[in-house]
Amino acid sequence: MLAGAYPPEGEAADPVALAVLEETAEYVGAGLSDLINLFQPERILIGGWAGHQLGARFLPAVRRYAASYALRHPAQKVTVDLGRLGPDAVTVGAAILPLADFFARGGRRAEPAAQAPGPAWRTASSERVPH
Protein backbone atom coordinates (compact mmCIF):
# COMPACT_ATOMS: atom_id res chain seq x y z
CA MET A 1 0.00 0.00 0.00
CA LEU A 2 2.69 2.47 1.03
CA ALA A 3 4.85 1.62 -1.99
CA GLY A 4 1.86 2.17 -4.29
CA ALA A 5 1.06 5.53 -2.76
CA TYR A 6 4.66 6.74 -2.65
CA PRO A 7 6.54 5.00 -5.50
CA PRO A 8 10.15 5.71 -6.45
CA GLU A 9 10.81 8.86 -8.48
CA GLY A 10 9.61 8.69 -12.04
CA GLU A 11 6.70 6.33 -11.34
CA ALA A 12 3.09 7.38 -10.94
CA ALA A 13 1.38 6.99 -7.59
CA ASP A 14 -1.58 4.66 -7.32
CA PRO A 15 -4.64 6.90 -6.76
CA VAL A 16 -6.50 4.18 -4.85
CA ALA A 17 -3.60 3.72 -2.44
CA LEU A 18 -3.40 7.48 -1.93
CA ALA A 19 -7.14 7.64 -1.26
CA VAL A 20 -6.95 4.79 1.27
CA LEU A 21 -4.10 6.48 3.14
CA GLU A 22 -5.93 9.82 3.14
CA GLU A 23 -9.06 8.15 4.52
CA THR A 24 -6.97 6.36 7.14
CA ALA A 25 -5.41 9.69 8.15
CA GLU A 26 -8.91 11.09 8.56
CA TYR A 27 -9.98 8.22 10.82
CA VAL A 28 -6.83 8.50 12.93
CA GLY A 29 -7.28 12.28 13.17
CA ALA A 30 -10.93 11.88 14.16
CA GLY A 31 -9.94 9.38 16.85
CA LEU A 32 -7.26 11.70 18.16
CA SER A 33 -9.77 14.56 18.22
CA ASP A 34 -11.92 12.54 20.63
CA LEU A 35 -8.89 12.11 22.91
CA ILE A 36 -8.10 15.81 22.59
CA ASN A 37 -11.66 16.81 23.50
CA LEU A 38 -11.91 14.41 26.45
CA PHE A 39 -8.46 14.62 28.04
CA GLN A 40 -7.01 17.87 26.65
CA PRO A 41 -3.43 16.57 26.48
CA GLU A 42 -0.47 18.80 25.78
CA ARG A 43 1.19 16.30 23.48
CA ILE A 44 0.27 13.18 21.54
CA LEU A 45 2.98 10.89 20.20
CA ILE A 46 2.33 8.49 17.34
CA GLY A 47 4.78 5.64 17.38
CA GLY A 48 5.22 1.94 16.95
CA TRP A 49 5.37 0.29 13.56
CA ALA A 50 2.61 2.47 12.08
CA GLY A 51 4.29 5.70 13.07
CA HIS A 52 7.63 4.36 11.89
CA GLN A 53 6.28 3.28 8.48
CA LEU A 54 3.89 6.12 7.70
CA GLY A 55 5.50 8.84 9.78
CA ALA A 56 6.50 11.99 7.97
CA ARG A 57 4.13 11.53 5.00
CA PHE A 58 1.12 10.64 7.13
CA LEU A 59 1.50 13.07 10.04
CA PRO A 60 0.49 16.38 8.36
CA ALA A 61 -2.86 14.91 7.27
CA VAL A 62 -3.47 13.41 10.73
CA ARG A 63 -2.72 16.77 12.36
CA ARG A 64 -5.05 18.55 9.93
CA TYR A 65 -7.95 16.18 10.56
CA ALA A 66 -7.41 16.12 14.34
CA ALA A 67 -7.53 19.92 14.44
CA SER A 68 -10.60 20.08 12.22
CA TYR A 69 -12.60 17.56 14.28
CA ALA A 70 -11.50 18.69 17.76
CA LEU A 71 -12.87 21.62 19.70
CA ARG A 72 -10.92 24.78 18.92
CA HIS A 73 -9.56 25.54 22.41
CA PRO A 74 -8.10 22.08 23.22
CA ALA A 75 -6.86 21.66 19.64
CA GLN A 76 -4.78 24.84 19.89
CA LYS A 77 -2.99 23.53 22.98
CA VAL A 78 -1.96 20.08 21.73
CA THR A 79 0.94 19.02 19.54
CA VAL A 80 0.89 15.77 17.58
CA ASP A 81 4.35 14.39 16.87
CA LEU A 82 6.11 11.16 16.00
CA GLY A 83 7.64 9.10 18.77
CA ARG A 84 11.38 8.66 18.65
CA LEU A 85 11.61 5.14 20.05
CA GLY A 86 10.80 3.51 16.72
CA PRO A 87 8.97 0.21 16.32
CA ASP A 88 10.01 -1.00 19.80
CA ALA A 89 8.22 1.77 21.70
CA VAL A 90 5.73 -0.59 23.35
CA THR A 91 8.48 -2.94 24.49
CA VAL A 92 10.56 -0.11 25.92
CA GLY A 93 7.52 1.31 27.70
CA ALA A 94 6.64 -2.07 29.20
CA ALA A 95 10.22 -2.54 30.39
CA ILE A 96 10.05 0.75 32.28
CA LEU A 97 6.90 -0.19 34.26
CA PRO A 98 8.70 -2.22 36.99
CA LEU A 99 11.23 0.58 37.43
CA ALA A 100 8.49 3.18 37.74
CA ASP A 101 6.78 1.07 40.41
CA PHE A 102 10.08 0.61 42.27
CA PHE A 103 10.81 4.34 42.27
CA ALA A 104 7.22 5.17 43.26
CA ARG A 105 7.79 3.13 46.44
CA GLY A 106 10.92 5.14 47.23
CA GLY A 107 13.29 2.35 46.21
CA ARG A 108 11.84 -0.17 48.65
CA ARG A 109 10.64 -3.64 47.83
CA ALA A 110 6.93 -4.29 47.73
CA GLU A 111 5.38 -5.53 50.94
CA PRO A 112 4.11 -9.09 50.63
CA ALA A 113 0.40 -9.18 50.03
CA ALA A 114 -1.65 -10.12 53.08
CA GLN A 115 -3.35 -13.47 52.75
CA ALA A 116 -7.02 -12.74 52.27
CA PRO A 117 -9.46 -14.98 54.12
CA GLY A 118 -11.22 -17.57 52.03
CA PRO A 119 -14.85 -17.21 50.99
CA ALA A 120 -17.45 -17.75 53.70
CA TRP A 121 -18.96 -20.77 51.96
CA ARG A 122 -15.62 -22.60 52.05
CA THR A 123 -15.18 -21.93 55.77
CA ALA A 124 -18.76 -23.05 56.54
CA SER A 125 -18.47 -26.24 54.48
CA SER A 126 -15.11 -27.19 55.99
CA GLU A 127 -16.56 -26.84 59.51
CA ARG A 128 -19.45 -29.24 58.66
CA VAL A 129 -17.33 -31.95 57.07
CA PRO A 130 -15.71 -34.29 59.63
CA HIS A 131 -11.91 -34.47 59.27
Q: What is the pLDDT of residues 81-131, one digit of tens each?
A: 998 887 777 788 888 888 888 889 888 887 777 777 778 877 777 777 665
Find the CATH number of the domain harbouring 9: 3.30.420.40
In the chain, beta strands by DSSP E: 43-46, 79-82
How many domains are contained in the chain?
1
Q: CA 98, CA 88: separation in Å to the nearest integer?
A: 17
* Predicted TM-score of the model (pTM): 0.67
CA distance 21 to 50: 12
Question: Is residue 35 very low, low, confident or very high in pLDDT (cuts 50, 70, 90)?
Answer: very high
Residue range(s) defining the domain that contains residue 42: 2-106
- CA–CA dist 117, 16 (Å, integer): 62
pLDDT of residue 131: 58
Look at residue 5 in the predicted model and tell me its pLDDT: 67
For residue 89, the surrounding DSSP H or E stretch is helix 89-104
